[in-house]
Structure 1
Amino acid sequence: MRKVREFASFVRTITTVTSEFVSIHLPRPYSYSSVHAPDAIYLKNREIDRLIKFGHLSAAIKLFDEMPLHDVVTYNLLISGCFRHGHPERAFGLYSQMVLRGIRESASTFTSVLGTCSNADFSKEGSQIHCRVVFLGFSLNLFIGTSLIDYYMRMGLDIVALKLFDELPQRNIAVWNLLLRRFCELGQFEKLLGSFSKMQLEGVEPNGLTLCYLLRGVGNERLLDEGRQLHSRAVKIGLVESNIFVPNALVDFYSDCRSLTEAKKAFECIPLEDVISWNSIVAVYADIGFLSESLELFSRMQFWGKRPSIRSLMAFLNLSSRTRNIQLGKQIQSCALKLGFGHESSHLQSALINMYGKCFDIESSVAVYESISVRTLECCNSLMTSLLHCGVIEDVIEMFGLMADEGIGLDEVTLSTTLKALSMSSPTDLTGCRLLHCCAIKSGLGFNSVVSCSLMDSYSRCGHVELSCKVFEEIHSPGVICFTSIINGYARNGMGKEGIQMLKTMIQKGWKPDKVTFLCALIGCNHSGLVEEGRFVFELMKTVCGIEPDWKHYSCMVDLLGRVGLLDEAEKLLLKVPEKVNGVSWSSMLRSCRIHRNEIIGRKIAKSLVDLEAEDPAALLQASNFYSDIGDFETSKQLREVALTKKVIREIGRSLIEVKSHC
């Protein structure tokens, strides 16, 4: 919002803008002569264009320096070339020189420079370029307006971009595609389809890029019927045959909807020589978990001389991570090296680090990280999550410090992972949580939903649920996950009534709780002994929200009823569980029978627990203790002897005590 307010202030003063532009370091001045013919500049411009296209930027700059006279085309070529070859500072220097020498910009000038401004380091210069556009009367130019909209969208200033979009006197397919791309990136499906409808009403025909964005949007929502309609539309206007990207998008769409038959049909319509489609279908089968089919396609692909891409390899590595198939991961790593990918792909290295971490081979994960010459934020985050997954908590926190020292930067994954590590440390470090909260605010991630949820979880684990509430109140538009996090924080601190009230508020605001939300609310009722409230939540889940409880919800209700002595009701509920119940529910029920000395129900529960968890020594010992309490010492002795032949490990409990020192 701060950026939006700054832009609004800029708009109010834009009428007073002068032609002055921020001066960047300029090259040496030139001496101009009027005797040179225009065709000489034209020939030099062609030569500069040729050099830039072949990647010889230094030679192009040298030729530019030798020219006694330049025109707008000369500057446009070189500014665009500097931007294309990764020299934005030099591009801005040339643009400043051009303005100060009185050479009037063309539409191509503005689009090139605005493309450079999309880099976050040059956001201020982008606003200045906008000033220049208005000053020279280019505000209604469609070509420049499209570049400005693209710039503001990349900067995250969507309100400004939409205002400029509405002010355009006419809109072509390029500017509509920008809007569709942004809504697709943000996951705003309704706005995506709404914009497409408006585009059609204006008589603008979609192209291949339009359908790719739409197919990605409906694929993310898994709307099979809507996607089929788009498929029919693409066939009708001939884009399936003429645009290779559309059938590839169809393969991805049907795969997202888990319609493999239609995905394969879409793939078979693509020419054999198209390498993109091969990598798409291989990645699709790997993503879904069909290992043998994806490996067969991977082999066929190479048989036909098609080179696998990073996407194919990453799909296999992600499958290895999900299934913890380290052997497959090692083979894919060898394949990547053989294909010549090496260490230049940070995405591939990040996937390798993550794969070894998920397979609990943290040594290999660290080895891949140390082999990387340029350590990116993505690779650092992957190592942090791997360390956390393997329980190396101290190294996660140390990794955060190293990233800060080396200037790698941080994002929501970095902060969330570090906060999770602090939460898992013993005792939970409140000071560390506060420091990370400050880092989040300073880096502009203070209102990020992922970071906010991690902060709420960390503060509630420290016993400071009031700080969790403060974080929640500062979220602009809390979603289901944010509500679930604060309800979980209340539950963890025995504040069941507050959790129920937050659940009601959530529903009143139009959000639909999911299974995790209801489970957190039930846990809060359980810890607070709120029987009536627990029944209310359990029934609300089924009747109002249409969510069928699973064994975790039943187990929580059984424990709640058992704690207060409602053993008959708890037993009836336990027998209604629609799936196979694990030993947790029976163990909880047996504990309640021991507390309330109910021998009749207890015997039935103990027998069921022993039958269900015959290999669990802890369950056998619990049943043995129950039989000992009721005087059946023979059965108790038999169960104890069986339990002692198995390894029993008891987790030591601990309490959180915060000592405040007063100096």
Structure 2
Amino acid sequence: MQRRNLLFFPRSITNTSLNFTSTASSPSASLLLDSYCETNPHVDLYSNNRAIDSLIKSGSLASALHLFEKMPIRDVVTWNLLINGYRQHELPKQAFQYYSEMVFQGIRESSSTFSSVLSVCSNAGLHQEAIQVHSRVIFLGFSSNLYVAGSLVDLYMQMGDCDTALRLFSNLPRRNLAICNLVLRGFCELSRSEWLFTMYSAMKEECVKPNGLTFCYLIRGCGNGRFCDEGKQLHCHAIKVGWVEANLFAANALVDFYCVCGNLIDAKKSFEAIRDEDVISWNSIVSVFAASGLLSDALELFARMQSWGKKPSIRSFVGFLNAAIGCDNIIFGKQIQSHVVKLGFAPGSVHVESALINMYGKCGDIKSSVSVFESVPERTLEICNSLMSSLLHCGIVEDVLELFGLMVDEGIGVDEVTLSTSLKASLVSAFGSLACCRLLHCCAIKSGFEFDTAVSCSLIDAYSKYGHVELSHQIFEQLHSPNAICFTSIINGYARNGMGREGLEMLEIMAKQGLKPDRVTFLCALTGCSHSGLVEEGRSVFNSMKSIHGIHPDQQHYSCMVDLLGRAGLLDEAEGLLKHAPAKSDSVMWSSLLQSCRIHGDTIVGRRAAKVLMELEPEDPATYLQASSFYSEIGELEISMQIREIAIARRMKREMGHSLIEVNSHS
């Protein structure tokens, strides 16, 4: 055992026969030690490392770098300190450059090196660089190190590659609480709530005791997945082990969970169980009630909060501004802005200013939105993204693309929100093109966001719109762990290009992977069936919505089925289905049925459809003209002329009901 310990000391020491314990008071031993320290540069190395550490902790990164460059000898600790210093100062590219230089100079990494560098790559989105670092981890044999493995798991979770993260996690010889919590957090952020309980059960089997953070992730995941019953069970367990009282974040997570599940009564009970002196819980409940559209309750709590002497936070005001968007109440939004200015949160608060830009834009007042943007002292990425989203909402798509160019030119940078919004704008812009889509795709690759869910889905939509569905499929295949939204995008891409059968195959793969399709997914699949003439498959998908997935078809799903059956000439079945639709008085569906009757020459169903259509829209001349054309095509010219005369009369009545008045302001 003694010999193994000696391996950690320099060879010059281990070759001596000194006994440090027995000769501490010996003058000869003391002189020998002093002589060694004078001739050994490692003593200076140790003191310089301490000095660099102190300078970085005091915020003097430039001084630390100056000392680093003067050092004649540097070891792995020296490099680790500098890399970590750049990481703490949010300078990821410089941190990675010094890591590259360290490897180039032949300095062997330690576990601390890998943890710091992987954290840098993860936070900065340097995914390609991170994969290279992972190769070094494997080459140097650090794969089983818990700290390094934890950084790798966190990295791949943030990249959206659940499969690789779980494979690394499973291959570890043992798992601790920190790594388990990283996996749980990844499941929450990637909306893989259904995997949370499998992980929680595995923790119990391996006797890994959960803490308050564990319950925070579990409860948050239950809210994301709308697992209300499971969340209540977790609540009971958290009370039993004492985490609700001991951990404020767990208590606040319960408030958010019940609000997300629509159980605001239990949300308020959970809030009232928290001690009154906690300002976080006050801001949490106020913002959640505001976000739920319960303005009166939110304002009452807001008043109570201030009467208790608790200062509202940015989160509360952002919640109120989002509530103004939800109820399209710009006057209320302006009142919140006045209160924000009064309390001194704006200008200067990026979150509040972003919320204000967003509020005005989503309420249709784009001039005020631009005015807030222009008054901001510093244009940050978040501020620009808010204006970009507002411009897109108001249909000013050319300015979205112009703003994107401005952000690149001024060095503001781009993120997944910027790229996704710009791609959506390019789809409806007059200047949008396949070339524009490719340019934005290149930007996504260069900035490291090509695997982001929102960006990938926008690219899938863009390429499929321009007819390049093979590129959409290629992007989808490159995703490590596609979620339900990604599957919906590719199914929609296939439907748009008349490839309904391929869309159904994707729907089947989606189900096998345990992902739950939603209303939009089914609508895209049915659209694909309609465009491809897949009648039996469309019936199967439509019937499975309610019987298997518990989703009641809405008006759009019925309309799609009526269109599918009408195209196939199954007009009696289409009419029967239409009569059972939730919105039986929908004129669009009856119009679609009448059009199918004209194509297939079905006079019996066509007469009934024409009659219903005219009854539904008695004041719309277009419905009469459609009915008139139908009767003309089946040879009943007299009825056709009578209906056409009614249509002309309706049109004249509508035109006479409008007048143009010019006011001469100079008279």
TM-score, structure 2 as length reference: 0.74
Alpha carbons of 1:147 and 1:515: their partners in 2 closer, same or farther (altered >3 Å)? closer
RMSD of aligned residue pairs (Cα, Å): 5.2
**What is the aligned partner in structure 1 of residue 652 from structure 2?**
644
1:391 Cα deviation after fit: 1.5
Question: What is the CA distance between 1:264 and its match in structure 2?
Answer: 1.0
Distance 1:87 1:467, change over 3 A: closer
Task: Report the alpha carbon displacement of residue 585 of structure 1 after superposing the two structures with TM.
Answer: 0.9
- Give the drift of 1:73: 12
Instruction: Tell me if structure 2 keeps the 8 A contact 1:287–1:318.
Output: yes
User: Does 2:188 match 1:215?
Assistant: no
Q: 1:531 Cα shift?
A: 4.7
Letter in 2 for 1:431: A
Which residue of structure 2 aligns with residue 26 of structure 1?
none
1:621–1:643 CA contact under 8 A, matched in 2: no
Aligned position for 2:460: 456
1:627 Cα offset (Å)? 6.8
Corresponding residue of 1:399: 403
Q: Which runs of 5+ in 2 are unaligned?
A: 1-35, 39-47, 70-75, 657-667
Alpha-carbon distance in 2 for matches of 1:95, 1:566 = 68
- Give runs of aligned pairs for residues 490-569 of structure 1, distance below 5 A: 490-496=494-500, 499=503, 503=507, 513-529=517-533, 531=535, 534-541=538-545, 547-563=551-567, 565-569=569-573
Contact 2:324 2:332 in 1 (8 A): yes
Instruction: Evaluate the alpha carbon distance shift between residue 625 and residue 304 of structure 1 in structure 2; reply closer, same or farther with a 3 A threshold.
Output: farther
What does 1:88-103 align with in structure 2 at a 5 Å threshold? none
- What is the DSSP-based 3-state SS (H/G/I as helix, E as strand, rest coil) of the residue aligned with 2:233? helix
Alignment partners' CA distance in 2, 1:95 and 1:440: 25
CA distance in 2, matches of 1:528, 1:156: 33
1:592-645 C-alpha deviation (Å, 9 max, x unpaired) = 445566665445434433443345454355456557755254454334323333
2:257 paired residue among 233, 236, 253? 253
Mapped contact 2:160–2:480 kept (Cα < 8 A): no
Give 1:430's aligned residue.
Answer: 434
Residues 152 and 575 of structure 1, relative CA distance in 2, 3 Å threshold: closer
In the alignment, does 2:343 pair up with 1:339? yes
- Name the counterpart of 1:237: 241
Q: Does the 8 Å CA contact 1:428/1:462 hold for their aligned counterparts?
A: no
**Does the Cα contact within 8 Å between 1:623 and 1:639 map onto a contact in 2?**
no
Distance 1:442 1:530 in 2: 41
Q: What secondary structure is seen at the aligned counterpart in 2 of 1:332?
A: helix
**What is aligned with 2:14?**
none
Equivalent pairs: percent with the same residue?
61
Deviations 1:293-330 (A, max 9, x none): 11211122122221111221222222222332222222
1:569 to partner: Cα distance: 3.1
- Counterpart of 1:265 in structure 2 is 269
Q: Is contact 2:566–2:574 with CA below 8 Å preserved after alignment? A: yes
Find out whether 1:365 has 2:369 as its counterpart.
Answer: yes
Counterparts in 2 of 1:211 and 1:409: CA distance versus 1, 3 Å: same
Determine if the alignment matches structure 1 residue 587 to structure 2 residue 591: yes
Equivalents in 1 of 2:293, 2:499: separation in Å? Answer: 42
Consecutive unaligned residues of structure 1, counting only runs of 5 or more, are 1-31, 35-43, 66-71, 649-663
TM-score using structure 1 length: 0.74
Deviation at 1:491, TM superposition (A): 3.3
RCO higher in 1 or 2 (8 Å CA, sep ≥ 6)?
2
Partners of 1:77 and 1:115 lie apart in 2 by: 14
Where do 1:238-317 residues align within 5 Å?
A: 238-317=242-321
Which 10-residue stretch deviates more, 255-264 or 540-549? 540-549
* 1:326 equivalent in structure 2: 330
- Which residue, 603, 608, 612 being the options, matches 1:608? 612
Is the partner of 1:645 in helix, strand or coil? helix
In structure 1, C-alpha distance between the alignment counterparts of 2:451 and 2:96, rounded to whole Å? 33
The 3 A distance-change label for structure 1 pair 560 and 125 is closer
- Size of the aligned set, in residue pairs, is 617
| Helix, strand or coil at the partner of 1:404 | helix
Return the alpha-carbon distance in structure 1 between the equivalents of residues 548 and 140 of structure 2: 60
* CA-CA distance at 1:78 after TM superposition: 10
- 1:269 Cα offset (Å): 1.0
The amino acid across from 1:224 in the alignment is C
Judged with a 3 Å threshold, the aligned counterparts in structure 2 of structure 1 residues 81 and 411 are, in CA distance, closer, same or farther, namely closer
Output the CA distance in 1 between the equivalents of 2:351 and 2:305.
22
CA deviation vs aligned residue, 1:501-553 (integer Å, no higher than 9, x gap)? 65566567766544333333433444455555544544454555554332222
Instruction: Please give the alpha-carbon distance, in whole angstroms, between the structure 2 residues aligned to 1:152 and 1:568.
Output: 54
* 1:487/1:521 contact within 8 Å kept: yes
Q: Structure 1 pair 129/500, CA: closer, same or farther in 2 (3 Å)?
A: closer
Contact 1:627–1:636 (Cα < 8 Å) also in 2: no
Query: Relative to structure 2, which stretch is displaced further, 133-142 or 358-367?
Result: 133-142
Read off the aligned partner of 2:338 and give its amino acid letter: S
Instruction: Name the residue aligned to 2:416.
Output: 412
Q: Which position in structure 2 is the counterpart of 1:386?
A: 390
Pair 53,220 (structure 1): closer, same or farther in 2 beyond 3 Å: same
Instruction: Check the 8 A contact 2:559/2:589 in 1, yes or no.
Output: yes
1:620–1:643 CA contact under 8 A, matched in 2: no
| Displacement after TM superposition at 1:440 (Å) | 3.1
Q: 1:236 corresponds to which letter in structure 2?
A: K
Q: Secondary structure at the match of 1:631?
A: helix
Mapped partners of 1:498, 1:155: distance in 2? 27
Residue 391 of structure 1 aligns with an amino acid whose one-letter code is G
Q: Deviations over 1:225-259 (max 9, x none)?
A: 22222222222222222322222121111112211
Deviation at 1:430, TM superposition (A): 2.2
Q: Paired residue for 1:653? A: none
Aligned residue type for 2:493: G
Q: 1:571 aligns with which of 551, 566, 575?
A: 575
Aligned residue number for residue 205 of structure 1? 209
Deviating more after overlay: 111-120 vs 543-552: 111-120
Aligned to 2:425: 421
> Hey, what's the Cα distance between the residues in 1 that align with 2:533 and 2:320?
48
Quote how far apart the aligned CAs of 1:272 are: 1.2
**Cα distance in 1, alignment partners of residues 504 and 141 from structure 2:** 58
Give the aligned partner of residue 445 of structure 2.
441
The alpha-carbon deviation at position 346 of structure 1 amounts to 2.7
Q: What amino acid does structure 2 have at the position aligned with 1:550?
A: D
With over 3 angstroms needed to count, the CA separation of the structure-2 counterparts of 1:349 and 1:195, relative to structure 1, is same
The answer to whether the 8 Å contact 2:160/2:190 transfers is: no
**1:619 aligned partner:** 623
- In the alignment, the residues of structure 1 paired with residue 568 and residue 359 of structure 2 have an alpha-carbon distance, to the nearest angstrom, of 46
SS across alignment from 1:222: coil
Report SS of the residue matched to 2:654. coil
CA-CA distance at 1:211 after TM superposition: 1.5
Flag the 1:74–1:638 CA change in 2: closer, same or farther, 3 A: closer
